[in-house]
Amino acid sequence: MGIGRWLRVSSFRFPVSVLVKLIVGLGNPGYEYHLTPHNLGFMAVDRLADECGVQWGRRESQALAATTELEGAEVMLAKPQTYMNLSGLAVGRLLSKYELSPHDLMVLVDEVALPLGTLRIRSRGSAGGHNGLKSIIGALESDEFVRVRMGAQPERPVEDLVSYVLGPFREVDLAKVREMLNQASEAVHVILKEGPQKAMNRFNRRVSPQLS
């Protein structure tokens, strides 16, 4: 039986507390990828960890993990250490270990189809060409999980998109990146407190964050 089928069966037979959530940021491990567009997911969960005053204190299921509380819910933050294209290995193992279903999962991820600085929240859907999401959907055999997509589209045409997403942000873009991470953190709180639909109504309308 595949991981996805096991999760669906186990979540049906053994309902999981709604107070438990797994929030995963996608990226690549290694300092050389730290401030790159493809690591926006890592940057977003790092922001959440900093705001909660928790550190990445342990490894679990091929991921760095930290447990905290957000909006009255016990939450595990995680950063898969499998590299982006194999993110599903870590996510599937974490869900299996804690007997969670895909509905208990939230994924923070970059999206080159969206302008830098914009957010798009979805409660389900295809990978849209993103290899990290594709790996998760394949491992879980389900696309029924919330994702917060953070715009990483280059402002000018680039010859090599892979080199762009794996290269560092330009210094001129960092203020917009910081504000987008602030908005992503706020969106996570709204999703946990009021649900993804409320968050979609609030954040998906924004063309770009308002910089101060």
Q: Residue 209: inside a domain, yes or no?
A: no
Are the C-beta atoms of 2 and 96 separated by less than 8 Å? no
| Chain centroid to CA 43 | 10
**Quick one: tokens of 201?**
């109504």
Check residue 55 and report its DSSP letter: -
Catalytic residue among 38, 103, 130, 189: 38
**Can you give the residue range of the structural domain that contains 166?**
3-203
The per-residue b/e assignment along 133-167, b for 16 or more CB within 10 angstroms, e otherwise, is bbbbbbbbebbebbbbbbbbbeeeeeeeeeebbbb
Q: Does 174 fall in a domain?
A: yes
Amino acid (1-letter code) at residue 87: S
Task: Note whether residue 167 is domain-resident.
Answer: yes
Give the span between the Cα atoms of 140 and 175, in whole angstroms: 35
103 is catalytic: no
- Domains in the chain: how many in total? 1
Spatial distance between the Cα atoms of 197 and 123, rounded to a whole number of angstroms: 8
Contact present, 80 and 63 (Cβ < 8 Å): yes
211 found inside a domain: no
Amino acid making up residue 42: F
How do residues 85-141 score in pLDDT, each as one tens digit?
A: 999 999 999 999 999 999 999 999 999 999 999 999 999 989 888 999 999 999 999
pTM, two decimal places = 0.86
In a domain, 126, yes or no: yes
User: Domain containing 151 — which CATH number?
Assistant: 3.40.50.1470
If pLDDT is split at 50, 70 and 90, which confidence band does 152 have? very high
Give CA–CA dist 134/78, Å, rounded: 18
pLDDT of residue 9: 34
68 within some domain: yes
**7-16, 121-130, 196-205: which has the minimum mean pLDDT?**
7-16
